[in-house]
Structure 1
Amino acid sequence: MKRLLWVPVVLIVMALAAWWWQSHRSNTASAAAEDPAIAAMLKDSSTIAKGRYLATAGDCTSCHTAQSGQLYAGGRLLPTPFGNIPASNITPDPDTGLGHWRFDDFWRALHTGVGRDGELLYPAFSYTSFTKITREDAIAIFAYLKSLPSIHEETKPLGLRFPYNVRAGLAAWRALYFKPGVYQADPAHPESWNRGAYLVEGLGHCNECHAPRGAWGGVEKGAQLSGGRIPGMDWYAPDLSTQAHGGLQGWSKQDVVDLLKTGQSSKGVAFGPMADVVANSTQYLSDEDLQAIADYLQSLPARPEPIAEKTSFDSKPLVDQGNSIYVQRCASCHGNDGQGVPGVYPPLDGNSSVLEPTGINATRAVLLGGFAPVTSGNPRPYSMPPYAQQLSDAEVAAVVTFIRRSWSNHAPAVQERDVIKYRHTPMD
């Protein structure tokens, strides 16, 4: 009933936002020629090469390339709790891509989240982070995209439900959650730290996954990089603090670099959506940039101590059952002590994916298997087989609960009802 009472309020707010947007909207598209100075830069080979590196660092391909599709031709549907949003074609095709775009159009989209025709862009395109990209870097990225082969690929229809498909309503959302502004270096920190902050907060848009979101899909204030469920995907992106009570507590700089470079470190393995990030993006970053990212993450503050779980649920029967399953199915690789085999099988004791608050990642790894990315530094990674056909929902809950409560692990139990829900969630 309370939810129904909110509907008229929401519609009124959206109507006011639509009126404001229409009254302030101007058609920004222009047939004018590109600025001559920028036009020259867009054809410069060194600028294009730089743009290729930056587009890779920004992991543009993961969203703008459909599975088995052509590079940057769009077509991938990005899931959100409000419906699917199709990624656009960003090749130079004049009809379906960026062929008629000038740099100013591209800059406006990155920096302010406004499209070429003046339309407000949905934040599935992460302009809330990309606004921090410098103009010089944006020119390089645009030069690279303009150098790509032109591919004619129509954008798929928007799949948002009402009222989220009313684009003008984004004006209200932006007022709450979006503040444009290029990254400003902090003079109190060294160059490497600032480079890492720029990559993490801006180009790498890490906060788009690694932060909690409210009911309207906006990142909660003051929760930067503190971990959160990835909208529409049912994976949990962990807290990135390496300090006390952080999701990466105890990780060294080298652990961070190793994971981003090879997909594997002494602390764990990248799988799920992060495996795609490593495969398509971070493995290609320079050692200097990887070190800069590690420097920045190491500076994130300690987190509050988690509140002790209060529940009448007795997890001991689950743990006992899970112990038996673990011995039969898991111990041969991960060890009776949960330490795994260095460089081969990841440890489960103290593993951030095991300990994240929801239990989603460990549950889905048992159901779907764990597949580390293929990288130049780890070209033949070991994978974990799926157990969805071998184990019942109750058995999966038992073994995951055992893992989350054994050795030094003290995470909340996972119940059968949770497994039922995650079993039927798409892989991505």
Structure 2
Amino acid sequence: MKTFLRGLLGLAIAMPVMALLLIAGAWGRELWLSGRPALSGAEDTNPALIARGAYLARVANCAGCHSPRGGAPLAGGLPLGTPFGTLFSSNLTPDPETGLGRWSADDFWRAMHHGRSRDGRLLYPAFPYTSYTAMSREDADAIFAWLRQQPAVRQAAPAHQLGWPYRWQTALAVWRLMYFTPGDAPSQDEPGADRGASRGEGPQAVIARGRYLVQAVGHCAECHAPRNRLGALRDATGLRGGWHGVQGWTAPSLANPRAAGVQDWSEDEVAHWLRAGWSPRGAALGPMADVVAESLQHLSEADARAIAVYLRDLPREATTPAEFKPAPPAQLDLGRQVYAKHCADCHGDRGQGRRIDGQPAYPPLAGNRAVTLDAPQNLLQTLADGGYAPTTAAHPRPYGMPPWRQVLSEEEMAAVATVIRQSWGNQAPAVTAQDVLRLR
């Protein structure tokens, strides 16, 4: 008994000591990182540098998170929901009080590469410095040069609304100790960081450029890679898909041809889809439609092809398809009635889609991977809330999907989703009313 009590006493003493050592180690590492010299950068107003920054800011989709709905571009304040609370994006305009007006190029580089603000605060990884850390100094300087040319807007971001202990900088320091290491940014001489894809260099240079755009500038893993319970990316380079519970959408695996992998597509098909957001195989909807509209459609032809080459080269994910079980006849009968009444006019009685004036209008549902993902959330989100494919130069007239949330019951929505997933050669698990209720 005495031995047991001594063991408990030792454990009671050891646990706080270990916690203090962990905290001390986390802050010691942060002090070491903050003391590392920054790479030399130039605060240049060269028009070519600013133009390059404008392009890179588009590819990085800075405005997507830093422009509030209906507000001034890049003025921040957009709420970003997470499982740990709500964060608000920062003001990227050159306002000296609430934006980047007093920042230097070195300050901006530390934020992008080290995840540390000008005043020394650690930044939450909702700002994807976990990907931007692999961006080159030259590209970071170009983005900063462009941001400095934007109209200044005085608008302070609201305070983050995080629960305990996530609002503590110490907790963030411990998280970074476990999950974040600043990357080795490529130099300007490396093809991935420059424009190797547009200079007619070899296949490896094109793949390197595609990897750099996907993993660093485009930060695709922030959505298309799974996360652990503490929000850290797992296997960021694998791009095996992620679930975004707050938004209610699944970012499907880019390594699985049954999901969103493009290993079986041609290079032309992938490059076109990235810039158009639409192809005979399906359309971008939900958060991905925003990404195409605000970012990907502005890719150069060379960069779109570099991304296509890189994504087609990803190792295929070894997966076992979910077991297919036909839905009960009563559910299929109800689903067919709903489909004939509300869906067939646009998507066709055989799910073949529809063209108007010879141009693609409504995407096909037969063979559409977006509707046959193992998880039905994306299909249910589209049925419930509707939406539009992105308006792009290559697809300037997208047709919308009306919301059916207020029209269909949970049973009807589950039934029509099941019919779509189990007709015209589609074979995916049935959807239940409980699946629909989870979205509501």
Q: TM-score, normalised by structure 2?
A: 0.85
What amino acid maps onto 1:399 in structure 2? V
What are the Cα deviations for residues 44-79 of structure 1, in whole angstroms up to 9, with x where unaligned? 111111101100110000000000111111010111
Q: Which moved more, 1:112-121 or 1:269-278?
A: 112-121
Distance in structure 2 (CA, Å) of the matches to 1:145 and 1:305: 43
Instruction: Give the alignment partner of residue 266 of structure 2, picking from 248, 252, 261.
Output: 252
- Relative to structure 1, the CA distance from residue 79 to residue 15 in structure 2 (aligned partners, 3 Å threshold; closer, same or farther) is farther
Distance in structure 2 (CA, Å) of the matches to 1:247 and 1:265: 15
Q: Aligned ranges for residues 1-400 of structure 1 at < 5 Å? A: 17-23=22-28, 25-26=30-31, 38-39=42-43, 42-182=44-184, 189-221=203-235, 224-241=238-255, 243=257, 247-248=261-262, 250-309=264-323, 315-341=328-354, 343-400=360-417
Contact 2:322/2:429 (<8 A) preserved: no
Distance in structure 1 (CA, Å) of the matches to 2:91 and 2:144: 13
Query: How far off is 1:176 after superposition?
Result: 3.1
What amino acid maps onto 1:358 in structure 2? A
Query: How far off is 1:287 after superposition?
Result: 0.9
Distance in structure 1 (CA, Å) of the matches to 2:60 and 2:15: 34
1:344 aligned counterpart, secondary structure = strand
What amino acid maps onto 2:374 in structure 1? P
Contact 1:326/1:399 (<8 A) preserved: yes
- Relative to structure 1, the CA distance from residue 266 to residue 314 in structure 2 (aligned partners, 3 Å threshold; closer, same or farther) is closer
Distance in structure 2 (CA, Å) of the matches to 1:372 and 1:14: 50
Distance in structure 1 (CA, Å) of the matches to 2:15 and 2:58: 39
2:419 aligned counterpart, secondary structure = helix
Q: Which moved more, 1:295-304 or 1:20-29?
A: 20-29
Distance in structure 1 (CA, Å) of the matches to 2:137 and 2:184: 8
Contact 1:334/1:341 (<8 A) preserved: yes
Distance in structure 2 (CA, Å) of the matches to 1:152 and 1:75: 11
What are the Cα deviations for residues 390-409 of structure 1, in whole angstroms up to 9, with x where unaligned? 11011101111111122232
Query: How far off is 1:23 after superposition?
Result: 4.7
Instruction: Give the alignment partner of residue 402 of structure 1, picking from 400, 409, 419.
Output: 419
- Relative to structure 1, the CA distance from residue 134 to residue 335 in structure 2 (aligned partners, 3 Å threshold; closer, same or farther) is same
Q: Which moved more, 1:387-396 or 1:189-198?
A: 189-198
2:42 aligned counterpart, secondary structure = helix
- Relative to structure 1, the CA distance from residue 213 to residue 146 in structure 2 (aligned partners, 3 Å threshold; closer, same or farther) is same
Query: How far off is 1:81 after superposition?
Result: 1.0
Query: How far off is 1:14 after superposition?
Result: 7.1
Query: How far off is 1:27 after superposition?
Result: 11
Distance in structure 2 (CA, Å) of the matches to 1:262 and 1:315: 38
* Cα-Cα RMSD: 2.9
1:79 aligned counterpart, secondary structure = strand
Contact 1:404/1:410 (<8 A) preserved: yes
Q: Percent identity?
A: 43
1:147 aligned counterpart, secondary structure = coil
Contact 2:26/2:177 (<8 A) preserved: no
Contact 1:243/1:301 (<8 A) preserved: no
Query: How far off is 1:205 after superposition?
Result: 0.5
2:81 aligned counterpart, secondary structure = strand
Contact 2:103/2:118 (<8 A) preserved: yes
1:38 aligned counterpart, secondary structure = coil
Q: Which moved more, 1:283-292 or 1:405-414?
A: 405-414
- Relative to structure 1, the CA distance from residue 282 to residue 223 in structure 2 (aligned partners, 3 Å threshold; closer, same or farther) is closer
Q: TM-score, normalised by structure 1?
A: 0.87
What are the Cα deviations for residues 310-368 of structure 1, in whole angstroms up to 9, with x where unaligned? 99x96443233212221222122212322212511111122232122221110011111
1:256 aligned counterpart, secondary structure = helix
Distance in structure 2 (CA, Å) of the matches to 1:410 and 1:100: 57
What amino acid maps onto 1:214 in structure 2? N
Contact 1:25/1:118 (<8 A) preserved: no
Distance in structure 1 (CA, Å) of the matches to 2:174 and 2:50: 37
What amino acid maps onto 1:271 in structure 2? L
Contact 2:226/2:235 (<8 A) preserved: no
Distance in structure 1 (CA, Å) of the matches to 2:396 and 2:422: 33
What are the Cα deviations for residues 253-284 of structure 1, in whole angstroms up to 9, with x where unaligned? 23322222122111111111111111111111
Distance in structure 2 (CA, Å) of the matches to 1:10 and 1:417: 43
What are the Cα deviations for residues 79-122 of structure 1, in whole angstroms up to 9, with x where unaligned? 11111110000111111111111111111111111222222211
- Relative to structure 1, the CA distance from residue 339 to residue 177 in structure 2 (aligned partners, 3 Å threshold; closer, same or farther) is farther
Distance in structure 2 (CA, Å) of the matches to 1:174 and 1:395: 46
What amino acid maps onto 1:253 in structure 2? E
